[in-house]
Amino acid sequence: MSRPMVTYKPSDEVDFVIVGSGAAGGVLAKELSTNGFRVVVLEQGEYLREKDFTHDETKIFVQSLLTNKVNTHPITFRKSASETARKQQSVLYGSCVGGSSVHFTANFWRFHEIDFKEHSKVGDIPGANFADWPISYADLEPYYTKVEWEVGVSGLAGSSPFDPPRSKPYPMPPLPVKGNGVIFERGCRKLGYHAYPAPMAILSQPRAGRAACMNCGFCLGFGCEVGAKSTSLSSVIPMAEKTGRCEIRPNCYVSRIETDKNGRAVGAVYFDAQRNSHLQKAKAVILAANGAETPRLLLLSASNQFPAGLANSSGYVGKNFMPNSSALAYGTFDEQLNDYKGPAVSRIMHDFYELDPKLGLYGGGGLDARFDFTPISFALNGLPPDTPKWGTGFKQALAHNFTRTMQIFCHGTSLPVESNCFSLDPDVKDAWGLPALRMTFRDHPNDLKMMEWMRARAMEILDAAGAKTKWSFPVEEQQFAVHLLGTCRMGDDPKKSVINSDHRTHDVKNLFLCDGSSLVTSGRGQPTMTIQALAYRAADRITALAKRGEISA
């Protein structure tokens, strides 16, 4: 397998040090190294390859092979600032080269035009810190297209009447339909909704030296053994390494961004695998560590000069956290779907993307038809609630339902609420003695109401599709997040945002942020596509600034 073609010493002042190798960090590394810059990417996790991936659920579920490890990186949670947070794994993110893109489901929706300017359309919402983006869908469209063609997205252009404009079709046809998709289409059609092939970051055809999907069914939570899933690891990172200017350095836990007396970033301080500390010097620093760890790192980088944390003159670092809202409905059918085969999702619908204001709900969502269970997670969570928990009844239900169950997943908006945030826990420390990540979160009431509405629609679709049995659970306040959005939001006003539309922090000229934290609104779920489009755009902006000499002192 590929080895880093270049290595730098920490004392080498490279052009860019990027913290994080996930969806955004991978794209930035590829673009900037291709544009001639010398780049070091510091990744907290290991450099795993396809051969290291497995279907063993004990390694994935329990050992966190691919994700953050709370034994060394504890996380605390509380619902409001008046509570003392307690240890709880409230955040799950990728911790390996490729980041969360390695284990994600690979739903790759574009945001729609409304997501960028909804505040202007609907005005303020009580309890929400709602704003427009400083960029529009049109600004991002070329980069969405670039993601589809370079990272690799399968889909069918024009199949949704609600899709935003696009400049090019998808590079590959959709993945094969599954039972869930056929049934979902049937239900949607009866109700006048528009189901269409799900855009997925999984190759339906061999492409760029990568294999097509083999439909093994172990997508969500697992790394793809054949590289068909379009992760940063399988797509852009090899391109970055091939330039000979980019070093991906794994097992590096960044503890602070160092600044000089002029308030400029001089590099990233990190612990290596042996817990020795180094400063990787760089002309500019880019944080792409995800929407939880990027703000944490800025707060950890507080100094006399930046007492509230780096790039935090607005006080917005870590604030306005949005995890997206969700609800699930389950159905069983007479015949076998065998939905354990193939990628989880095969059809989606966006009829509810912009809800009728008459409903009294803000935002909207998208529904997908899926089966995202593994055998073990199905036995734990996939059976109707009234199923016996043991014995012949349990076993028979498992044997009958495993091949006959599907789900409808409702994804939706999270409103930005300023008090929903990531901050440093004052009491709990990680294994390196640094303050632990603390999550403070309570859903905006609109989001819970909206999801309840969406859940009822999902049940109707299952009914219309002829489900033999169906069930669902009331929407509850969330205490666990994988979409980490909005915590260093982009904006023109330095008092109300952390970065400008070039992804440059308002406060530090040579410090840039690009990941889920950059988002101003949460879309309707499925943020990775937008995070990668932003990363491609950010790379263009940063390259232009660097070439004009506007980053260097």
Partner 1 sequence: MNSFYSARRDFLQLLGGTASAAWLTANWPALVSAAEHAHQAAKSGTPALEIFTADQAREVEALAACIIPSDETAGAREAGVVYFIDRALKTFFSEALPVYQKGLEAVQKTTAELFPGIARFSAATEEQKLKIFSHIVQESERPESGARRLAPGASPDFFQTLRIHTIFGFLVDPEGGGNRDFVGWKAIGRDPSHSFSAPFGFYDKDYPGWQPVSGETEKK
Q: Interface residues for partner 1 in 455-494 (CB under 8 A)?
A: 473, 478, 480, 482
Site pattern 493..532 for partner 1 (x: CB under 8 A): ----------------------------------------
Minimal distance, residue 375 CB to partner 1, in Å: 4
Stretch of 16-24, 356-364, 390-398, 506-514 lying at the interface with partner 1 (CB under 8 A): 390-398
Q: Using alpha carbons, select from 302, 265, 301 the residue that is nearest to residue 282.
A: 265
Phi and psi (nearest 5°) for 542? -65, -40
Angular region, 335: left φ>0, alpha ψ -120 to 50, beta rest: beta
x-marked contacts with partner 1 along 150-179 as a string, rule CB under 8 A: ------x--x--------------x-xxxx
In contact, 263 and 271? CB cutoff 8 Å: no
How many residues touch partner 1 (CB under 8 A)?
A: 84
CB of 517 to partner 1, least distance (A): 20
Q: Which residues between 249 and 308 bind partner 1 (CB under 8 A)?
A: none
* Among positions 376, 426, 427, 477, the unique one binding partner 1 when judged by CB under 8 A: 376
Integer Cα distance of 420 and 285 in angstroms: 27
- Using a 10 angstrom Cβ sphere, with 0-12 exposed, 13-18 middle and 19 or more buried, the burial of residue 177 is middle
Q: Are 178 and 371 in contact (CB under 8 A)?
A: yes
From 152, 151, 154, 148, select the one nearest 168 (Cα to Cα): 148
Identity of the residue, 171 or 221, whose beta carbon is nearer to partner 1 in the bound complex:
221
Question: In angstroms, what is the minimal distance from the CB of 186 to partner 1?
Answer: 9
Closest CA to 236 of 2, 544, 525: 2
- Which residues in 187-216 contact partner 1 (CB under 8 A)? 189, 191-194, 196-197, 214-216
Q: Which is nearer to partner 1, 136 or 381 (CB)?
A: 381
Contacts with 192 (C-beta within 8 Å, 6 or more apart), sequence order: none
Binding mask 352-371 for partner 1 (x = CB under 8 A): ------------------x-
Kindly state whether residue 109 participates in binding partner 1, applying the rule CB under 8 A. Answer: no
For position 340 contacting partner 1 by CB under 8 A, the verdict is yes
Pairing of strands 39-42, 14-19: parallel
> What is d(CA 540, CA 28) in angstroms, rounded to the nearest whole number?
9
Q: Site residues for partner 1, window 216-255 (CB under 8 A)?
A: 216-217, 220-221
Which segments within 340-452 are labelled E, that is strand? 345-349, 365-370, 405-412, 421-429, 435-440
**Among 4, 142, 169, 375, contact with partner 1 (rule: CB under 8 A):** 375
Alpha carbon of 316 to those of 416, 419, 485: distances in Å? 12, 10, 13
By beta-carbon proximity to partner 1, the closer residue of 183 and 513 is 183
64 binds partner 1 (CB under 8 A): yes
Tell which one of 326, 446, 510, 518 touches partner 1 (CB under 8 A): 326
Residue among 104 and 143 whose Cβ is closer to partner 1: 104
